[in-house]
Chains A and B, each alone.
Chain A
Amino acid sequence: MFAHTPLRLTTLTLLAIGSLAYAFVAGFFGLEILAEIAILAILVIALDLVAGFGGMVSLCHGALMGVGAYAFTVAANEAGLGAFPAMMLAVALSAALAFVIGAICARSIGIYFIMATLAFGQMAYSFVFQSPLFGGDDGLSGAPRPDLTAIGIDLTDSRAFAIYAIAMVALTYLVAAATLRSGLGRSLVGLHHNEKRLRALGLTVWRAKATAFAISGALAGLAGCLAAQHTQYISPGLLSWTVSGEALVVVILGGLGTLVGPIVGAVLFVVLKHEISAITPYWHAIVGLILIAVVMSRANGVFGFVEARMAARKSKPVLQKANADA
């Protein structure tokens, strides 16, 4: 079950204060990085919701994000919708697509689930890549940012946009936490532990899985909308399976099934990416080595490692409680 341990609450508070404080002092480049972290954080929270708690390791979240980005851009540019209606439409579309994928893949488990989601993700990628409506290989440009000048906020300013993106991370986190605390979230965790038992208890398994996947897909779609607004240019590369793989890497580096860990992972990943890329062009090799080391160490990522250490230091009843909570 998901619960807010003091460590998780402390980390969240520190992340919120730290990012907001940084948003007010950072220069242009720092703000761009902050927005990038926020967008990645939304995507990995979405992924952790299904992969960490439901055991549904998805390799199509990049595609769901990309669908959100494309739907937003097309709805805003071609259909002439305002930025917020276009976002809602894009999020709804990603959610609907995720529901269908989740329903179809609900019967598959383990490696078959991973492969099946990979197939659907690549299907969306090829579709966007080939379709002339979406600009093919050239991508689409000119996604608008929401107009908040009515309340005195100008989102074309990168500081305002970074704070807006952080607010969206907070919203995403609240949705994910609320989902996990709802009956659906409890069923999801139960399904991960013992699907037969939940089936025997009368749960419609495919519907629970598909609904959870849809919520996760909606959040991934939101990440896509923000990605489109951030760079104001989107390309089919956004939907590629390697984006999903990278998101999974971030979840693992942060701590699978902790919801807070992936945010820590997103911060580390983006910061490391920029720091290492400045030194060597072979930054992927270094990420690969770190990933292999983390997985082989059997620690649950950076945050999971700290969490396990903290739990081990406390007295036994607390330890048992922490285990039960995790």
Chain B
Amino acid sequence: MTADLGFWVLQTLNALQLSMLLFLLSVGLTVIFGLMHFVNLAHGSLYAFGAYMAASLAGVLGYWGGFLLAPLAVAALGAVLYFTLIRSQRRAGPMAQVLITFGLIFVAVDATRLIWGDLPIGIAVPAVFEGQLALLGVTYPIYRLFIIALGLAVLAVLTLVLTRTQVGAMIRAGVDNDQMAACLGINVERMFFLVFVVGCALAGLAGAVAAPVLSVTPDMGLQILIPTLIVIVIGGLGSLKGAVAGSLIFGFVQTFGAVLLPTFNSVLIYALLAAVLVIRPEGLLPAKG
């Protein structure tokens, strides 16, 4: 079984798909942290909200309507959160932020139960991506390949924006030293808002693409939160490269761990995280050198 090429291809694709989903979530969270020093434990709840919005809108507008509008809805929710809670707590220290966003998780889980009920909601894969594709001797669902492609596309766009545009340069300056950036005439407040909302939209996008492959349940946000946090801590808080590296490490360790070392699987990733924290407490590729 393990000597078979198809097995490795299949598991690599599975790992990539998980990595890309985690990347969409962790990149927003990590850049928000890097720029604003804000720890948003409710990021997973935004992802769940995106999945629910996508599922609800898919019933009315079809899959693509949900796919496009869900991130916007999550971004709008993010904007509301920014002005009500986030902005005033930016300098409050990690514990206040952890607590407030932990409180938000409680509220979010119950709000989704209240609106959408306790039962899992499923939505169909869009017609374009139905079926399987034969690839290197394995057949793989096309929709999952789409997730991988979408993740890579988002990565490419973010890399371009961050390294090649003025806004990207301003964000990088803000991550390095926000006070100095403000002195140089960058409207740091507005940039924070922009980054926060885009991060929320990406979480919503992750929810929308995950909705057809996972079941949409009230606690899905809580379930994805820990993997997302592991990704950004392994990768290094605040850096795009770190989010990529962390997502890939998590995706591959989790997927191959499950098939090669099933007994130790779930402990494996935490042991890796502990090792990273001991050897490099700042993560593998932190934003600041």
Contact = CB atoms under 8 A, between A and B. Distances in A.
**A interacts with B:** yes
Interface of A: 51, 57, 104-105, 107-108, 110-112, 114-116, 118-120, 122-123, 126-127, 129-130, 241-242, 245, 248-249, 252, 281-282, 284-285, 287-292, 295-296
B96 interface: yes
B110 interface: yes
A114 B101 CA distance: 14
Contact of A296 (B85, B267, B274): B85
8 contacts: A57-B94, A119-B273, A120-B270, A127-B266, A129-B266, A130-B263, A284-B109, A290-B103
Contacts of A104: 274, 277-278
A251 to B, nearest CB: 10
A123 B270 contact: yes
A277 B110 CA distance: 13
B68 interface: no
A108 B277 contact: yes
B281 A108 contact: yes
Q: Which 7 A-B pairs rank lowest in CB-CB distance, beginning with the nearest?
A: A288-B106, A285-B110, A123-B270, A126-B266, A291-B103, A288-B107, A288-B103
B89 A119 contact: no
B166 interface: no
Given A108-B277, A245-B102, A282-B114, A292 B271 contact: no
A120 B274 contact: yes
Nearest to A110: B94
B284 interface: no
B48 to A, nearest CB: 14
Contact of A241 (B88, B113, B226): B226
Contacts of A127: 266-267
B135 to A, nearest CB: 32
B222 interface: yes
B99 A111 contact: no
B287 interface: no
Interface in B224-253: 226, 229-230, 233, 237
A207 B233 CA distance: 25
For chain A, what secondary structure do more than half of its interface residues adopt (helix, strand, loop), or is it mixed?
helix
Contacts of B33: 111
Contacts of B109: 284-285
B103 A111 contact: no
B105 A288 contact: yes
Interface string B31-46: 0010000010000000
Interface of B: 33, 39, 85, 88-89, 92-96, 98-100, 102-107, 109-111, 113-114, 222, 226, 229-230, 233, 237, 263, 265-267, 270-271, 273-274, 277-278, 281-282
A115 B270 CA distance: 11
B270 A119 contact: yes
A123 B267 contact: yes
A118 B237 contact: no
B281 A112 contact: yes
B98 A289 contact: no
Contacts of B281: 107-108, 112, 116
B266 to A, nearest CB: 4
B94 A284 contact: no
Contacts of B100: 291-292, 295-296
Contacts of B107: 284-285, 288-289, 292
A245 B109 CA distance: 15
A266 to B, nearest CB: 17
B103 A295 contact: yes
Contacts of A282: 110, 113-114
B270 A291 contact: no
A248 B96 CA distance: 11
Contacts of B282: 112
A118 B114 contact: no
A312 B28 CA distance: 43
B98 A126 contact: no
Nearest to A107: B281
B222 A122 contact: no
Nearest to B113: A282
A292 B265 CA distance: 36
A280 to B, nearest CB: 9
Nearest to A245: B102
A114 B89 contact: no
A155 B231 CA distance: 47
B189 to A, nearest CB: 20
Residue of B237, B267, B282 ringed by the most chain A CB atoms within 10 A:
B267
B270 A292 contact: no
B94 A114 contact: yes
Contacts of B98: 57, 111, 114, 248
A285 B110 CA distance: 6
Contacts of B96: 295
A104 B103 CA distance: 29
A187 B277 CA distance: 24
Contacts of B222: 242
Contact of B270 (A122, A281, A288): A122
Contact of A291 (B93, B102, B278): B102
A71 B140 CA distance: 45
A304 to B, nearest CB: 14
B123 to A, nearest CB: 25
B271 A123 contact: yes
Nearest to B42: A288
